[in-house]
Amino acid sequence: MNGSKTFEELVRENEELTMRLEEATETINAIRNGQVDALVVNDAGSGLQLYTLKTADQTYRVFIEKMNEGAVTLNEDGIVLYANSKFASMVDLPLSKVVGHPFELFIAENVKEHYKQLFSIGWKEDTKMELTIKRADGTVPCQLSVTTLLLDEGQALSVIVTDMTFQKNVQYLLKENNRQLARINAELEASNYDLQQFASVASHDLQEPLRKILIFSTMLKNKHREELPTESREHLDKIISASLRMRTMISDILNYSRLSTDDDHFDTVSLREVVEEVLDDYEILLKEKNVQVVLGEMPKIEGNRAQIKQVFQNLISNSIKFGKVGLPPIIEIDCKPTPDMPGAMCVITVDDNGIGFDAAYQERIFSLFERLNAKDKYEGSGIGLAITKKILDKHNGSISAESREGQGARFTIRLPLHRGRPVE
């Protein structure tokens, strides 16, 4: 046979190795389950050595084994004395390929110098560092938190390994979202610039030819009205009427666009003084229409005076415009107490006895160009209430409407008394 082993010898040797493997497995499981508090290691150079965790009670070890982070214990040479199953799964190796091996083997090549610094500092003080753990199919970004651990044989280094893959993915998504937001902001800035350019064009280039249309149409009407056929005079009146509506619409569009681009200047504003100023501006119209205005107590607020005045101009002019035929308009403006509302608030109501509108339209009336009545019967661009809503939005306020056809309308304004307190 000349040294060759017989079949029987190989079977016995295999059985012996299998038995040793089973004993080793049972020992490892016993240590993990807290059934063993010490482990004897046969070191070729030093002989038998006993390793005992002072805190190695069952609860502690079961906790370490069940935790979601990897847990590793190193000796002063950086050899892995203990590793839980989580760490073994992180490096995609069996525990037999982890315990007893240098921990440095599991550190990515490009961060080994950082690991050496961490290992050196960790013996002196608790510290942590983000490093990359390597495995067969790639790498895993991790945070290593190290602290010293007292064994019977002396100090060891405890390393908690936290998988940072999820956090890194979140950070990447945040960076990507921030990049997209920066791009969108740049596009919005460009869009706002285009809007300002449009406003400039609308204020000059569009109104100038419109002004000429109105001038020459009016000249034809005044100088040659009697010479023109009846049909031509009607056409001329329609041209003038349409031009006036277009001029109003252009002006309202400009006012609406400026609310998005202009810087706001806020001061203390007396709402009563603002309403009285609007009524003074409309003095002639109020007398012509025999309008009765009832003005209650009004507070002072922090706001943009010009914009707040525009709100009341729009609401009062609407109440006059949509009055009932043959019935003098009555407009009641009042501020109601708000004891149940949080914060310093005022609630202002504007009631009229006009033609009202269908309750189904109480939200739509604040949309751009929304008209509930025929344009040939009631003047206006359909932008006034949209401007009103946008102004109140800029003041952290709100507006709502209630009405029924033929029964007048009520507009309710909610405004903070002080700037920066949004409506609840």
pLDDT of residue 56: 46
pLDDT of residue 55: 45
pLDDT of residue 263: 55
Rounded CA separation 161/174 (Å): 24
pTM, whole model, 2 decimals?
0.48
Q: Which residues pair with 107 in a beta bridge?
A: 133
pLDDT of residue 69: 85
Rounded CA separation 202/204 (Å): 6
| Domain ranges across the chain | 33-163, 170-262, 264-424
How wide is the angle at C-alpha 302 spanned by C-alphas 300 and 303, nearest 5°? 110
> Over its length of 424 residues, how does the chain's per-residue pLDDT go in tens digits?
445 667 677 777 777 776 766 665 565 555 555 555 555 555 555 555 555 544 444 445 566 676 778 889 899 899 998 888 889 889 989 888 888 899 999 999 999 999 999 999 999 999 999 999 998 888 999 999 999 887 766 788 989 998 888 888 888 888 888 888 888 888 888 877 777 677 666 666 777 788 888 888 888 888 887 788 888 888 888 888 888 877 777 776 676 666 665 556 788 999 999 999 999 888 888 998 899 999 998 989 988 888 898 899 889 988 888 888 888 899 999 987 665 555 578 899 999 998 888 776 667 787 755 555 444 444 544 577 888 888 898 888 999 988 888 888 899 999 998 875 554 4
Rounded CA separation 214/192 (Å): 31
For 170-262, the fitting CATH number among 2.60.40, 1.10.287, 1.10.3470, 2.30.29 is 1.10.287
Rounded CA separation 71/145 (Å): 10
For 33-163, the fitting CATH number among 3.30.450.20, 3.40.50.300, 3.10.20.30, 3.30.413.10 is 3.30.450.20
Rounded CA separation 112/106 (Å): 10
Q: Which residues are within 8 A (CB) of 376 and not within 5 positions of it... i.e. 6 or more apart?
A: 241
Rounded CA separation 277/280 (Å): 5
Q: Which CATH architecture has domain 264-424?
A: 2-Layer Sandwich (3.30)
Cβ atoms of 351 and 408 closer than 8 Å: yes
Cβ atoms of 144 and 131 closer than 8 Å: yes
